[in-house]
């Protein structure tokens, strides 16, 4: 089946720093989403981005489907950005497959 | 809208008991998904429904697991009999259509002793 790899697995930032999270996938997908799981366990959908670029406040995402990767940019990080960021891809069978996530900790 | 509602939020049970998890999707959403999250396996899609019909249940781990959606506003995930390895957080999510944004409930944290 399709493989989803996220990097880095762990990231520690000082508040105010910028970061880039990467998601590589091994086959063509028809949808891609980024999620944030906060320290309390709540999953929040950040972007639905099968291709192109989207921005929402300090967060933006870019997916290059032809090269099978997506990037999530976090600018001016805040402590509330801490948590785990998941990339999830959808294939022709409508399954959603999650990567292992990037664990982010933002220090005050 | 109140978002996706799940109950109970926490469940502790003993091995061999039946467990029923409940989910109310966002009104108007045609797709409903059940996920499981464990430390070992991460997030996994168990089953999803479209217009109350199960579409893909290949992620359901065993016959002990079953899911139903009797109407557009309610779904259940049942484990019978439960085992300690079923301990996990179970999330329900809904979306307008496949490929569109999925909205997650708060999850049910299940502990099977």
User: Hey, are the CB atoms on B45 and A31 less than 8 Å from each other?
Assistant: no
Q: A89 by DSSP, 3-state: which?
A: strand
The residue written with tokens 């032809």 in the block is A66
Confidence of residue B1 (pLDDT cuts 50, 70, 90): low
Q: How confident is the model at residue A41, as a pLDDT?
A: 92
Which of A31, A25, A27, A24 has the alpha carbon at shortest distance from A7? A24
Task: Show residues of chain A in contact with B56, CB under 8 Å.
Answer: 93-95
Whether the pLDDT of residue A101 is over 60: the answer is yes
In tens, the pLDDT along B16-61 reads 999 999 999 999 999 999 999 999 999 999 999 999 999 988 889 8
Task: Show residues of chain B in contact with A33, CB under 8 Å.
Answer: 101-102
**Closest-CA distance of chain A to residue B58, Å:** 9
């Amino acid at each position: 089946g399709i493989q989803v790899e996220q990097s880095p697995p762990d990231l520690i930032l000082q508040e105010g720093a910028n970061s880039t999270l990467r998601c590589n996938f091994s086959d063509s997908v028809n949808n891609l989403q980024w999620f944030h799981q906060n320290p309390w366990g709540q999953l929040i959908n950040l972007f639905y981005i099968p291709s192109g670029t989207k921005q929402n406040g300090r967060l933006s995402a870019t997916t290059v489907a032809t090269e099978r990767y997506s990037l999530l940019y976090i600018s001016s990080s805040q402590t509330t950005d801490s948590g785990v960021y998941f990339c999830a891809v959808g294939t022709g069978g409508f399954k959603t497959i999650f990567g292992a996530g990037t664990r982010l900790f933002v220090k005050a | 809208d109140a978002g996706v509602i799940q109950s109970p939020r926490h469940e502790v049970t003993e091995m061999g008991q039946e467990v029923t998890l409940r989910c109310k999707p966002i009104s108007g959403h045609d797709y409903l998904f059940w996920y499981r999250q464990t430390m070992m396996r991460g997030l996994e899609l168990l089953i999803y429904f479209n217009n109350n019909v199960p579409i893909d249940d290949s992620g359901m781990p065993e016959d002990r697991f079953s899911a139903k959606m009797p109407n557009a506003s309610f779904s259940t995930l049942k484990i019978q009999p439960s085992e300690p390895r079923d301990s996990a957080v179970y999330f329900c999510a809904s979306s307008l259509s496949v490929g569109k944004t999925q909205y997650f409930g708060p999850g049910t944290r299940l502990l099977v002793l």
